[in-house]
Structure 1
Amino acid sequence: MGGLAICVFCASSSRIDRRHLELAEQVGAELARRGHSLVSGGAKVSCMGAVARAARAGGARTVGVIPQALVSVEIADQDNDELIVTPDMRSRKAEMDRRSDAFLVLPGGIGTLEELLEIWTSRVLGMHDKPLVILDPHGMYEPLRDLVVKLADHGFVRPRAFDAISWSRSVPEAFDLLEVRQVHLTPTGEDYAEAEP
């Protein structure tokens, strides 16, 4: 299977360990090798820039989406095949969601966490059936996973939330999971009444 528009959520911070940049480069290269295209946050710096450069080097099409306020801060990647400048962060995320067939989450900061949780929640609520995978070879998201398990144990999160996401420690496995057709989760009235996953 090929030809997916894969949205990669990842860091724009310049103060990160080199291993995270290398992971982003591996993701971009694998994405291109499998014939997919990239949708990203449109920044030239850090992991965002690394994944896009590696994807283009492998022949993949890249689309960057960046809010006007961050064009100079995150340094917009003008080498994208298409660079979309949005009025704000909310419209940025909406445009990235609209253009994507699947979502891959790499280690990142609170912005990446926000993107992950929004996509995860909307999938649990049946608002989309696009694959969502966390690629975490270094265990950065293990505390989050433990937290969600604990919340589920206390009844705050429904077990179905774990059907809406996949976790991986390797790049090839993450792409294998992204390429699997997802089962649409049909929410119950109870899900909507509580408005929580």
Structure 2
Amino acid sequence: MTKISARFPVVDAQVSPTGRMEVLSRTEAARLSSQGHGGLRELFRNCALAVLNCGNPLDDGKELLARYPDFEIHIIQRSRGIKLDIRNAPASAFVDGTMIRGIQEHLFAVLRDVLYVSREAEGTAGAVPARFDFGTSEGITDAVFQILRNAGIMQPVIQPSVVVCWGGHSISGAEYDYTKRVGYELGLRGLDICTGCGPGAMKGPMKGAAIGHAKQRIGKARYLGFTEPGIIAAESPNPIVNDLVVFPDVEKRLEAFVRTGHGFVVFPGGVGTAEEILYVLGILLHPANVDHPLPLVFTGPKSAEEYFRRIDGFIAETLGDEARSRYRIIIDDPAAVAREMQGGVAKVRSFRKEYRDAYYFNWLLRIEHEFQQPFRPTHANMRRLRLSHNQPRHLLAADLRRAFSGVVAGNVKNDGIREIEQHGPFEIHGDAGIMGPMDALLSSFVAQGRMKLPGTAYNPCYTVVSGKPEVTRS
């Protein structure tokens, strides 16, 4: 039933499972119905609302919750399986009162992942101990693997083909069209797409690849979408994604990208895209990964050349030429991007075959604990960041990544927005030789309208300060 009188039209509905969540145990249903269990009920509700908000132009997690305060979702336990009873859901998720199939699949993927991660991270009190060990690097990597396996992502017999596409959810029409052109060229070459699953540069490559795959009669193409609870409201999954996975935090999501992907294409974006670039470069700069092939291309239309010039300049001034040697910049040439990926993926296959590493999960890549530990963007934690050249380049990249992650949180994540509202802008301290380029880069994002959706006024959530406060790292 659609309620037209609401400010934002909403629908009541009951939906049955798709995928692998046909039944729940009584314990699982109770965990999702209880106010306890570490907020599991609220987590599922908020992620479900984000999925149902697909297609609506909104990149503010706090605003989404305020826009649909009466949204409810409950488990109906039946002898022949479960249903979800949904009240006051965004009407855009439905066609003539029936939920769009892709959104329905995503809804039950959220249910699957929220339950699985909660159970394996917490265990069952008095019965089953926790299986995930988030205290060690190896334990975190194993958890990422198990989350992916539980979601059915692992396909051992498939040859390397996954191209991770990163870029902004808020991009111009010309940039969006370009991402579709690149996706089309990748699809013609039989390459699959993995993105952050949202709109903009995450949706465009999938749309383009779908046409390329159709022309080549590729019937089982993969469109993987990786997200996490903090960002899903700002980047609601687009329905082209046919395998959605929700990770517990951004760090495990980022590790999943580099463990699963065989090549990376970066489109224009904003501070979140810069965070992703710094993450992958930091890993590639680790001495143990120096010979590890992982093709990385920055690309966009001619109008985006200035954006990548700024990114390249920032990397040169902070991480140096070694980092710059790990990527190529290709402007306004989708076919060249696809050929670069095709050749790079072939090298990845040869390397994995030679060293007997899996095609479906990059076990050999060394990822330090610094890159895996969840970073909670608070004012104190942002001030503690070690933004100094007096440390190995890969560790500097890790802290630069955290700084940009804090800005992302302050821009679009519910918790980050509330932190800024209560205590004012984050202060980012560091060496003048780093703070100057960072300030210039962030200012260019603001000037280019890359911090918020078009037409939305941007109020900076950060202040860049040269000089490091005297604090010790906890």
TM-score, normalization: structure 2?
0.35
> 1: CA distance between counterparts of 2:326 and 2:234?
33
1:1-197 equivalences in 2 (<5 Å): 3-13=160-170, 16-43=171-198, 45-59=199-213, 60-125=221-286, 126-127=288-289, 128-137=292-301, 138-139=304-305, 140-149=307-316, 151=317, 157-169=319-331, 170-178=333-341, 179-180=343-344, 181=347, 194-196=391-393
> 2: CA distance between counterparts of 1:74 and 1:161?
29
Residue 3 of structure 1: how far off its partner (Å): 4.9
AA aligned opposite 2:337 = A
Q: Secondary structure at the match of 1:69?
A: coil
Residue 144 of structure 1: how far off its partner (Å): 2.2
Q: Is the 8 A contact 1:123 1:129 kept in 2?
A: no
Q: Is the 8 A contact 2:315 2:324 kept in 1?
A: no
Q: Secondary structure at the match of 1:164?
A: coil
> 2: CA distance between counterparts of 1:74 and 1:147?
26
5+ residue gaps in structure 2? 1-158, 214-220, 352-389, 395-474
| Percentage of matched positions with identical amino acids | 21
Q: Is the 8 A contact 1:28 1:54 kept in 2?
A: yes
> 1: CA distance between counterparts of 2:314 and 2:233?
35
Higher relative contact order (CA 8 A, sep 6+): 1
Q: Is the 8 A contact 1:120 1:132 kept in 2?
A: no
Residues 145 and 86 of structure 1, relative CA distance in 2, 3 Å threshold: same
TM-score, normalization: structure 1?
0.80
Alignment deviations for residues 148-174 of structure 1 (CA, whole Å, 9 cap, x no partner):
34x2xxxx6443223211111121222
> 1: CA distance between counterparts of 2:322 and 2:310?
19
Residues 95 and 86 of structure 1, relative CA distance in 2, 3 Å threshold: same
Q: Is the 8 A contact 1:66 1:85 kept in 2?
A: yes
Q: Is the 8 A contact 1:68 1:86 kept in 2?
A: yes
Cα RMSD over matched residues? Answer: 2.3
Residue 64 of structure 1: how far off its partner (Å): 0.5
5+ residue gaps in structure 1? 185-192
Q: Secondary structure at the match of 1:38?
A: strand
Residue 17 of structure 1: how far off its partner (Å): 1.7
> 2: CA distance between counterparts of 1:27 and 1:8?
10
Residue 88 of structure 1: how far off its partner (Å): 1.6
Q: Is the 8 A contact 1:77 1:83 kept in 2?
A: no
Q: Secondary structure at the match of 1:70?
A: coil
Residue 120 of structure 1: how far off its partner (Å): 1.5
Alignment deviations for residues 16-70 of structure 1 (CA, whole Å, 9 cap, x no partner):
3210110111121111011101110011x22212222222233242111111233
Deviates more, 1:137-146 or 1:99-108: 137-146
How many residue pairs align between the two structures?
A: 179
Q: Is the 8 A contact 2:315 2:323 kept in 1?
A: no
> 2: CA distance between counterparts of 1:159 and 1:72?
37
Q: Is the 8 A contact 2:297 2:337 kept in 1?
A: yes
